[in-house]
Amino acid sequence: MNAVLSPMETLKRESHGLRGTIPASLDDAISGALREGDAQLLKFHGSYQQDDRDLREERRQQKLEPAYSFMIRTRLPGGVATPAQWLVLDALATHYGNGTLKLSTRQAFQIHGIIKQQLKSTIAAINQSLIDTIAACGDVNRNVMVSANPLVSAAHARIHADAAAISEHLLPHSRAYHQIWLDEKPLLDVDETETVYGPNYLPRKFKIGFALPPINDVDVFSQDLGFVAIVEDGELIGYNLLAGGGMGTTHNDPRTYPRLADVLGFVSAERVLAAAVAVVTAQRDLGDRSDRKLSRLKYTIDRIGFDAFRHEVETRLGVALAPARDIRFTDSGDRFGWVAGDDGRWHYTLRVESGRVADTPAQPALSGLRAIALQHRGDFRLTPNQNLMIANVAAADRAGIEALIEAHGLDAHQRGSALRRTALACVALPTCAQAMAEAERYLPTILDRIESLLTRHGLTEAPILLRISGCPNGCSRPFLGEIALVGKAPGRYNLHLGADFQGRRLNRLHRENIDQATILSVLDELLGRYASERETHEHFGDFLLRVGVVRVPTVIAAEVQA
């Protein structure tokens, strides 16, 4: 820990509260990019600088800089948005973005393709709709996830309120965002001291998720900090507190690994904010600030030890944590179609492949959801699986919504295999700077190929989790896929197999750096064996473990306890 601080630490400390020279960078007409340090600081304001990687070489030959643009990500706890907010985001994406809305795996909206000259006005317009983008990226608490579980309405509302309160409390205190994007005049009497984060913010990104059993749609064990709601007789009594999950790894760096969160104990509902602050500040003070590859909370816990970390949290919290309550998860998926909540309101979850809401001839989704937003009187919920719930529909309004769903082909969950309905893909190429291989754009192709294998083996209705990620950072939470493709190079992937269906067991690397033909031949054989040798209700990942295709995993606490 005495090692040299990473350059990012210096940049944060000397950024004047995340301001850097962003206004000057925005005004600099010589480039569509921001200056290097400003591009890093921009993340804390909810935007990534990207470029169209498909055009890089062509533009280089034209002596033009890369086609820079910006992705803007909302801070939207639990992914809950009003129809009016939907319409604003739709209009911004249509007029200034690439004409699509992306629903992220953390329940945020992403608008891609905003050019530098439009960045400020677009962020300002998002704020006018009462959604902000503060801290949607960067070394801070990211968008707080909440299970989209539609069945228990009152409990969901309560948990969503807790998540929103934590999201609010963990916002940076700097007024940089308001001054740069919203033209707020600097005020002398505003205290911008970062009382929670300190001048260097967190060592690395920090992810919080709230699960509502029996559905583990937020993949709560993948979060830096997880809360599992304990509901008794319809009433929330508290949360099991989990810490130290994380997906991101670096290829060929054995110091890095995906990790599931440990169960720290139980906290009562009134202590939820204090518990969050205890874990966040422990990571703030103990996390590695020299090597960003090792800065996530999961490595902090493994470095100092689980018991020492729990003690640290209890000391900061001022009370000992009670033993965790028993919880049971059945799955990590969404409930498609109409579902009634316990308050009699109706919710329709529709499938959005890769979370990309776009107008295509077969499925004019952007237009369809615009029509729905114009008439919907409830709200929308982005699910952790990149799907969309049209939530809180009165019984009398169901028919009208349903007609629009059908007219725009938005009932895609009724077509195709079970595997297709649950597949996740990150954005990857062409905009993501991290991507080593295709993900979202490859998903339709690989789904068609795998579906023909499923058809041959009679497995079209077998629910199997497929996840594709363009790199090992793991935005699509690939290490919790029963089948996962993790991008290694163009057209080549690491094939991971053997996670469970409930998000409690990591998969294992099965084959490294293989092409599509090899992927399909490996899967063909294993799916064939699964079809003939599986036990009743046995999931694919569990089967692979039982028959020894995937080696018995090393024991991870959460895998045993949860």
Looking at the Cβ atoms of 62 and 128, the one nearer to other proteins is: 62
Of 73, 102, 175, 477, which residue is the catalytic one? 73
Smallest CA-to-CA distance from 384 within 218, 222, 213, 223 is with 218
Q: Active-site residue among 175, 351, 426, 505?
A: 426
137 is catalytic: no
Q: Which is nearer to other proteins, 69 or 473 (CB)?
A: 69
Question: Are 258 and 474 in contact, with CB atoms under 8 Å apart?
Answer: yes
Would you say 356 and 444 are in contact if contact means Cβ atoms under 8 Å apart? Answer: no
Cβ distance to other proteins smaller for residue 31 or 193: 31
User: Residues 142, 370, 381, 505: which is the catalytic one?
Assistant: 142
Return d(Cα 147, Cα 180) in angstroms, integer. Answer: 33
Minimum CB distance to other proteins, residue 403 (Å)? 39
User: What minimum distance in Å lies between the beta carbon of 45 and other proteins?
Assistant: 23
Q: Are 480 and 556 in contact (CB under 8 A)?
A: no
Residue 33 or residue 446: which is nearer to other proteins going by CB? 33
- Provide the 8-state DSSP code for 364: B
* Catalytic residue chosen out of the listed positions 12, 207, 356, 505: 207
Q: Is 245 helix (H, G, I), strand (E, B) or coil?
A: coil
Nearer CB in complex with other proteins: 3/30? 30
Let me know if 471 is a catalytic residue.
yes
Point out the catalytic residue in the list 116, 137, 381, 471.
Answer: 471
State the Cα–Cα distance between residues 137 and 150, nearest whole angstrom. Answer: 28
Torsion angle, alpha carbons of 543, 548, 549, 552, to 10:
90
What distance in Å separates the CA atoms of residue 140 and residue 300, rounded to the nearest whole number? 16
Which DSSP string do the residues of 410-424 spell out, in sequence order?
Answer: --GGGSS-HHHHH-E
Residue 35 CB, nearest approach to other proteins (Å): 11
List all residues 6 or more positions away from 169 whose beta carbon is below 8 Å from its beta carbon. 196, 273, 276, 277
- Spatial distance between the Cα atoms of 383 and 351, rounded to a whole number of angstroms: 10
Catalytic residue of the set 106, 475, 504, 505 = 475
Q: Closest distance between other proteins and the C-beta of residue 32, in Å?
A: 7
Decide if 475 is catalytic: yes
Strand pairing partners for 266? 240, 322
Q: Is 19 a catalytic residue?
A: no
Which residues in this chain contact other proteins in the complex, by CB under 8 A?
A: 29-32, 60, 63-65, 67, 115, 117
Contacts of 7 (CB under 8 A, 6+ apart): none
In terms of CB distance, is 60 or 456 closer to other proteins? 60
Residue (68 or 306) nearer to other proteins, CB: 68
CB of 38 to other proteins, least distance (A): 16
Instruction: Yes or no: say if 68 and 345 are a contact pair by the CB < 8 Å rule.
Output: no
Alpha-carbon distance of 358 to 368, in angstroms, equals: 10
Q: Which two tokens stand for residue 205?
A: 């990104």
Annotation says 284 is catalytic:
no
Question: Is 491 in contact with 506 (CB distance < 8 Å)?
Answer: no
To other proteins, the closest distance from the beta carbon of 430 in angstroms equals: 15
DSSP code at position 291:
-
Shortest Å distance, C-beta 73 to other proteins: 23
The residues assigned a catalytic role are 73, 142, 205, 207, 426, 432, 471, 475
